[in-house]
Amino acid sequence: MNTSVENVPDLCETLEDNCKKVVDKIIKTNREVFIMYSLLEKQMCGYDIIKEIFSRCDVFLSQGTVYPVLYTLEEEGLLHAEYSKGDMRSKKYSLTPRGREVAEKDIENFAKALEQISFLVKR
Amino acid sequence: MRSMLKDAVNGLDEILFVEIPEGSVILVTGAEGTLKSGLVFSMMANHVAANNEHALYVTLELNSEIHLRNMNSLLIKKESNLHIFDYRDMRYEWMNSELDLIKMTEEVIDSYIDKYDDLTLFALDSLNALYSISEHDNMRNMIYDFFSHLRDKGLISFLIMESAQSGMSGQFSQFHQIEHYLADGTIELGMIDGKGGVKRYIRILKMRATKHAMEKHQLTIDENGISIRGTIY
C-alpha cells in the first residue's frame, strides 16, 4: 500500500472506519449487555433504549434486534414491563432485583473480557 | 427420544405419514374461523412440550395477550419455551418511521436463534398482514428472499394465510400463487356444510419429501384440544 504523506488522512479514515466496524460488531453481538446497561439508571421503552445506545455509542441497534431481547429478558424475569400512566401502548422496562444482579455481573464480565482481549492483541 | 411433529396433534399421523423435513416452509391456508392459528399454535405447543426445544410464534394480527386469550379459549396451553412476538410496541413507538417489517421479521427470527440455538419451529400469523403493512416494489423477490431465509435457518416454518372463503380449495388468486409454488407444503383448512351441520376439515395439498394422505379429514376441538379424525366428504 502506498503510504505517502498525501495518503495519510485516507489511511487514518480507513483505520477509523475499521475500528468503528469492530465496535459496531461487538456492540451488536453483545446487545443484551448494552440494553441492560441502559436500564441500570432508569426505566425506558424500546425506542428510548435504541436512541440512548445510538447517542452514547454511535451504533444503531435495529428494532428487530432490540425488542426480542426485551421480550425474552422479561420472560426470564430479568425485566419488569409496565405501561406508562395514561398510555396503554408505551411499555417501559426496568430491571428486576434479579435482573440488576445479572446485569451488573454481565457488565463486569464483559468489561473484563474486553480488557483481556486488549491485552492479548497488544504488541 | 425426540418426539415427531407429526405426533404433535392427535390424529395428525393419520394424514402425515413421515416427519416434515427441517427447513420446510409450509403454508396454512383457510377462511376465517377454520382454526388456522389454533392448529399451528397447538402443534407448536405440543411439540415443544414433548421436546427440549424452542419455538417462535410471530403475530402481526393480534397482540400476544389477545392471542393467548384466544388460545386459552381453545384449551391450548402456552409452554415457556414457546415464545410469542408481537409488533404492537414496535409499531407504536416507531409510528413516524418507515419499518421494513419483512426485514424486521428476519431479524426477530435471528435474534431468537441467537438466544435459543435449539429453536426449531417458527410461525407467522399472518402472511396477509405482513403484506398489508409492507411496502415493497417487488413482492415476488421479497417473498423468495423471505422463504429462502427461513429455509437457510433450518426451521420448520408455518405461514398462516387467510384465503377468501371456504370451499375454494385449490383456487388461489394470481397474487398468492407465488407462495404456493415456493412453499414446500400447503395445509388447507376449511368448512363443509353437510347433513350433520357445518364441519371443519383439514387437507394436506402438498408436502414435499413426505408421504401424506390427500383426502379431507375432519378437524375437531373438544376438552382434549384439537384432533384430526376420519375422512370427510
The residue with cell 441492560 is A36
Residue range A97-120: average pLDDT? 96
Q: Look up the pTM and report it.
A: 0.90
Residue B45: per-residue pLDDT? 94
Query: Chain B contacts of A83, Cβ < 8 Å?
Result: none
Lowest mean per-residue pLDDT among A7-16, A92-101, A108-117, B124-133: A7-16
B112:A68 CB<8 A: yes
- Between A65, A68, A90, which is nearest B93 by CB? A90
Buried b (16+ CB within 10 A) or exposed e, B133-144: ebeeeeeeebbe
pLDDT value at B201 more than 50: yes
Integer CA distances (angstroms), A89 to A70, B27, B93, B141, in order: 15, 31, 8, 34
Q: Reply yes or no on whether the pLDDT at B29 is more than 90.
A: yes
CB B189 within 8 A of CB B2: no
Name the residue among B25, B39, B8 with its Cα closest to residue B209.
B25
Name the amino acid, one letter, at B178: I
Positive or negative, the CA dihedral B75, B59, B164, B158 is negative
Q: Which of B151, B190, B156 is nearest to B170 (CA)?
A: B190
**Residue in B88, B111, B133 to test binding to A, most A beta-carbons within 10 Å:** B111
Map grid coordinates 382454526 to a residue.
Answer: B35
Q: Quick one: which of B82, B58, B59, B78 has its CA closest to B68?
A: B78
Question: Cell numbers 410464534 correspond to what residue?
Answer: B57
Mean pLDDT of B68-94: 91
